[in-house]
Structure formats: structure tokens, C-alpha cells
Amino acid sequence: MKKNLILLFCFTAALCASAVLAGIKDGLVEYVGAQRDVFATGRAASVVSLGDLAGRKNLYAMGPVEGLDGEITIFDSKPYITKVRDDDYIVDKTFKHGAFFLVWTEQANWIDVPVPADVKGYIDLQRFVKAQAKAAGIDTTKPFPFLLSGTPVEIKWHINVDRTEGKTITKESFFRSKQPFTIKNEPVDIIGFYAEHYDGVFLTKYTPVIKEGTGIENAIHIHLVSRVSKAAGHIDDLILGEGMVLRLPKK
């Protein structure tokens, strides 16, 4: 009897530990859930607990908090969970949160690429990341992570905050449920995921910068973590500064 109980405990523990492994791996990233599921169900229910990723080394991840209640940014295994409260926002540095979709990678080795002065905006960055990844031998037809460090001139970013008034989530209420912020001349670390044809999964096809009808489609999802303030969340637009460095996965 005692032996059976031990076996049952071990099986249950292994099952719980492997729950996050139900995510999908493609290229150099893994993900679980999808943005489009929110519109299909009308709910932003959790599909993964961040606790399932706790303890992993060289972890980089991002996603929205369940219930449209914040942004998840994990940079080098350190979580930064920002949530709007009243007229301000708070940052929690624990894994005690759920996400209604999440994308992540575990990457220890990177190569540094200086960002030239003519790469200034969001679209410039997207094109530069793809070109440099190709030059580094990375398969850009599959998702891959990248990092960016330095001091941008400006970053426009947001945190999800539930403005659905308890009603079924629609595309309109989803995009309305965002609190905008702006920082200027702050040193930051940026985590990004490049992925073509993944709109509705862990990125959107169009952004405040890339609009329908322009012939351009969004292929990056980027989050910031400030080195000098509590700012952390989803980047909508940015103006890069001098001396910034792009980091790409080392093969």
C-alpha cells in the first residue's frame, strides 16, 4: 500500500511538473495558448501558471496576465509582472500569476550586433532583426528570440487593464483594455520574439505603428524592462538611441 502511494505521488508530481511542456515548440521558442482564443471564447482565462517555469535558467518570456490584468515579462529568469492600480501601476517579481498565452525561450548564448544609427523606429528594428538573423544563419521562417539593450530616445508602451465591464471580450474591448505609458532616455533591456505568420498566436498582425493597408505586417512582439524605474511591459512604438546593441541566439 505504502509503495503504491509513493508511486502515485511520484506520478502526480511528474504530471504537474510537465504541465507546461504541453506547449508547442517551433524554431527556438515555445508557446502555449493564443491571442485569438480570447476572441473565440470571450474570456481571458489562464492556460499556464508561471510557476511551471520557475527555476529554469536563462529564461526569457512574455505574455498577458489572465483576466486582462497586467503584463508578464521574464528577463533572464527574473519575472516583472506589471498591473495597473488606480492612476499608477505596480510591479510584482514573483511567479504567482497565470497567463492566457505565453511565449518563451531558454537561451544562454548570444552574439552581439551593434545597431547602426539609421535604425531608429519600430519598422526599422523589425527589418534589422530579420536581416541580421539571416546573416547569422538563423532560420527566419521559424520563430526566434532576440534582445536589445541601451537607452532609447523614447518608448511608448502599455499594460493590459480590464475595461470589459464584465462583458464578453471582443476585439474592440480587448484593444481598449490597455493603459498607455511613455518613458524617455531610460536605459532598458528589451526582449523580443520574431515570428512571421504568427498573428493571433503570440503577436498581432497590425500595431499602432503598422496599420492595415500599408503592405507591411507585424512580425515582432517586444517588451521592456527599465534598469532605473519600475517600467516593464509591452512596447507599442520606440525611437532608438545611439550605441544600442542587438543580441541574437548563438548557434
pLDDT tens figures, 93-140: 999 999 999 999 999 999 999 999 999 999 999 999 999 999 999 999
Of residues 159, 189, 164, the one with CA closest to residue 75: 189
**Interatomic CA distance for residues 212 and 124, integer angstroms:** 18
Candidate CATH numbers 3.40.50.300, 3.20.20.70, 3.30.1330.80, 3.30.70.20; the one for domain 109-249 = 3.30.1330.80
Q: CB atoms < 10 A from the CB of 14, how many?
A: 9
Interval 44-95: pLDDT, tens: 999 999 999 999 999 999 999 999 999 999 999 999 999 999 999 999 999 9
- What is the C-alpha to C-alpha distance for residues 232 and 225, in angstroms, rounded to an integer? 4
d(CA 2, CA 86): 53
pLDDT of 23: 78
Which residues in the chain are classed under CATH 3.30.1330.80?
109-249
Report how far residue 72's alpha carbon sits from residue 92's, in angstroms, rounded to the nearest whole number: 10
Fold classification of 2-105 is 60s Ribosomal Protein L30; Chain: A; (3.30.1330)
